[in-house]
Structure 1
Amino acid sequence: MPKKKGQKKISNQDFTINDCANAPKPVGKLKKSVDAAPPVELSWDQIQDEECDLVEEYDENGIKSIVYRKKRNHSKSEGDNNENAGVIYPEIVWYLISKFIKPEDVGRFAGINKSTYAMTKRESFWRLLYQKYCKNNPNLPERLRLENSYKVYGLRQRVIRALYHSYEVFTKKVVNQSAHDSKPHELVKRCCVNVWFTKGLHHWLIYFKFKKLHPMQRLQNTASLIEELGRVDANPEENSQVLQVTCQNFYEVPPLMGMTLSSVSVVLSQGFRHHRLHLGFNTGSHNVSRDILPECTVILDSVINIVVYDWWHPKYPYFDNKLPSNMRDEEALPVLKKDFFNC
């Protein structure tokens, strides 16, 4: 029968079920295999599990077969990556460089590699910073002087606090921070760990100490006493902030230890001369949101000033400070009203 114009030539090869019923879409022409090189078929005695993989292959007729193909050798590519890994310098090089690191660049220096991070854990690193920027400085308080102190525990914390008294870059940071808003709203979702008050000449100072708790802190293993005393980076005040509220009158504050700050609101009081501070507290740290009403609300009226101090701030209230000579120890203890629970 003569071939008509436009009629396709029918191939003599047999069609399989993969070309008809199991085909994902109709095809007019069978495609060749994508791989340029045919798969290497091995005999059963040459097959090893760690060298080959089972692979499904289709031939020109669309017949599926399972063959063993050798795994790709990554030794060459891994070798190329190792060649481009960079130069590894000995620790003595980083030790010599650490002597020229400025206080504001310590964080960047510690993030270079493991060796530089280990340098910032050494006692000699922080004592050198103290000698260069803090020693014999007239603005340094007596409690932060380390000339005759050989205490290793918390050395990093004491040097950082000393730098905020003597180092010009850090002192300017304190001045710029005091000129701006203290931002008490950033204390939301922090746990209240202490509340106390002191009486000034004309005003009352009420303090709320908050700490940001991390869930992983409870899972950390407790070190021995000797290891703990040798920690240069120990800082019990880490992630702690103190809210100082200056009021014209005294206001009773309920016990809030263990509760989480859930809301902060500052509005004008009557007469528009002072402010009124609203602090909302809830139990637990997971149930704090804007939609939940606070379980306990503290309202402080006639507020004159609101300041938030970080642990490194020069005015952060540390209880190891010396008391004035005209004040007894009982009058300066950070406690609530003694007869609060009997009211």
Structure 2
Amino acid sequence: MTAAAGPLRILVVSDAWYPQVNGVVRTMATVVAELTRLGDVVEVIGPDRFTTIPTPGYAEIRLALAPRRKLARLVDAFRPDAVHIATEGPLGWAMRGICRARGWRFTTSFHTKFPDYLHARTRIPKAWSWALMRHFHQAGNGTLCATPTLAAELKGRGFTHVVPWSRGVDLDRFHPAAGENGAAEGWESLPRPIFLCAGRVAVEKNLEAFLALDLPGSKVVVGDGPQRAALMRRFPDTHFTGWRENGALARAYALADVFVFPSLTDTFGLVLLEALASGTPVAAFPVTGPLDVIGDHPVGALDGDLRAACLRALSADRAGCRAYAAQFSWAACARRFRDSLLYR
């Protein structure tokens, strides 16, 4: 495998891919589209090409079963110039093994704090999981991560090849005007202000920290996941919409008064930029992701008291939120990704 002088044949191997809907899939799909537009040939190999089994506790997320032999055939058929491994699942480990056996260089990306998730669900000591994650990523030539705060944490945990790789937002899709047809969501009867949370309805998203708050107006949750039914029973006054995609998701962002991000473990949070691009300020805890995306910019509020953050965010200037989000470009994100593949 040798890098081409011009357009590249780029192979991305990811355990997170369509039909899954999450930040990893959205990030990789958008970067692939940008690279293709620039002239590269990009192949994504995901679980959809393999026999799969459901992830325990997340039946909608499928994991490839014993994928290495078939994966090697697919890799040989594509003949890549560069390889990126996006996830640490069965496909990621299999591709890592193939690259090491053949002496190929490759990059990885760190999207998810799995040690924190596993500890929350199973009480497995975080140190064990972090050691495994470090072992996985250190075999590559660079670990891409989204924020300076995460980069500092990874370096503190012994990761030595950390590469900054920020994110972008689709400004044409997410914009304040998307909320002009408010009747389409049926929210006109909801008391204001509307506090919105969007994403997977799962334990790692810490939704209860939001739903249990004593806030004026209404709470809305856009998304689905394994906790949805239980949370609907516990918080009957919250409006749960299920998944919203395309124009409906953009409309939800733009109709809200504040976007609430209660997660303590996300490494970035694409939804933060999507909300800001829609003109909606953000309320969140001061943790990795919000600290880097929001920081001390006047586009929302970060506070260890999430209720206080929600109430302060109401006063943020919506035009300022949109202007701030406009600084984040998917084109720049794709260029940085490509540059990391060529780094020696």
TM-score, length of structure 2 as denominator length: 0.23
Larger radius of gyration: 1
TM-score, length of structure 1 as denominator length: 0.23
Greater strand content? 1
Of structures 1 and 2, the one with the larger relative CO (CA 8 A, separation 6+) is 2
